[in-house]
Amino acid sequence: MRPTGRLHLGNLHGALGNWVELQNSGSYDCFYFVADWHAITSEYASPEDIRQNSLNMVIDWLAAGLDPDKSTLFVQSAVKEHAELFLLLSMITPLAWLQRNPTYKEMQTELSSKDLSTFGFLGYPVLQAADIIMYKAYGVPVGVDQLPHIELTREIARRFNYLYQKEVFPVPEPLLTGVPKLLGIDGRKMSKSYDNSIYLSDRGKELRQKIASMFTDPQRMRKKDPGNPEICNVFTFHGLYSPAPTVAEINRECRVAGIGCTDCKKMLAARVEEALAPVHERMDYYQRNGKEIEEMIQKGNDEAAAIARQTMAEVREAVKI
């Protein structure tokens, strides 16, 4: 993940939740890293927050359930081999492969306030490929929108193996994960860029105010008007945070104007606060124990670097450098 700010509920119920499940399944050796070099592709003009954001991201991960005893957690820039492999892969990656990347223009639109006409931004999928194949990954947990990146990684791995006539890298498969479509409080995609997120760190009055401001069924102007839960973002959140009988009751009562949006939001706020309480407890603990966090990160950095050194020895042998 790119450390561009605190994690939000979209992250929790998307990638981060899936990471915790994979970790706890016992079926995978999981590597999760703070992509601080990737953050520089868009934050190069103001990188001063990246280091603190990286620390906060690890705290959010631990609070959400990632365990350094079950997964390798590290910071990308601490493993310099990522940069070397990126450089070598960039030598063999056709420019056309990067130019056809469908998410390139999408990210330029989402981050329109940034000047992204840089080599680093165009080439970030190559760095992403280096991040993945460095650890000879067989599977990468992604949503459908990330499939083009994984396919490019697969093509780069195959091309390297073909050019140097050695199977250095496995060709990774996508581990498709179901990601709930959680929208922000304004009805758009939940994103730090849109300033519409509910963060894992939000609590108390701030959390309740954000939920109170959430967009609902636009056709329901008054409490006596019947609503349509299927197009209401608040109802989507209830599906994640409220028990099934409550969800069924809200679905029924909303359609006959038996419950108003204000009461519905208050119910949701209580459920979200309850669900996030253990997350906040762990978050508070790690924020008080910075030394423990630093030691965890260093341990993960060392574990990742040991594997990266071994991989790069094989790469250099294949490339004859």
Extents of the domains making up the chain: 9-182+290-319, 203-284
**Residue 179 has what pLDDT?**
64
Cross-strand partners of 140: 174
**Residue 42 has what pLDDT?**
86
Query: Under a CB-based contact definition with an 8 Å cutoff, are residues 174 and 154 in contact?
Result: no
The contacts found for 217-225 with CB under 8 angstroms, 24 or more apart, are: 217/254, 217/261, 220/261, 223/257, 223/260, 223/261, 223/262, 224/257, 225/257
Superfamily of domain 9-182+290-319: HUPs (3.40.50.620)
Side chain identity, residue 191: S
Query: Under a CB-based contact definition with an 8 Å cutoff, are residues 241 and 268 in contact?
Result: yes
**Domain 203-284, second-level architecture:** Orthogonal Bundle (1.10)
**Residue 119 has what pLDDT?**
92
Q: Provide the 10 A C-beta neighbour count for residue 138.
A: 12
Cα distances (Å, whole numbers) of residue 281 to 13, 59, 200, 241? 19, 11, 11, 18
Contacts of 306 (CB under 8 A, 6+ apart): none
Q: Is 100 exposed, middle or buried (0-12, 13-18, 19+ CB in 10 A)?
A: exposed
Nearest to 214 by CA among 199, 197, 227, 200: 197
Nearest to 2 by CA among 100, 138, 127: 127
Query: Mean pLDDT of residues grouped by 10 in the chain (321 residues)?
Result: 94 93 96 97 90 97 98 99 99 94 73 81 95 98 88 98 98 85 92 92 98 95 94 96 98 97 98 98 97 97 99 98 94
**Residue 49 has what pLDDT?**
94
**Residue 99 has what pLDDT?**
87
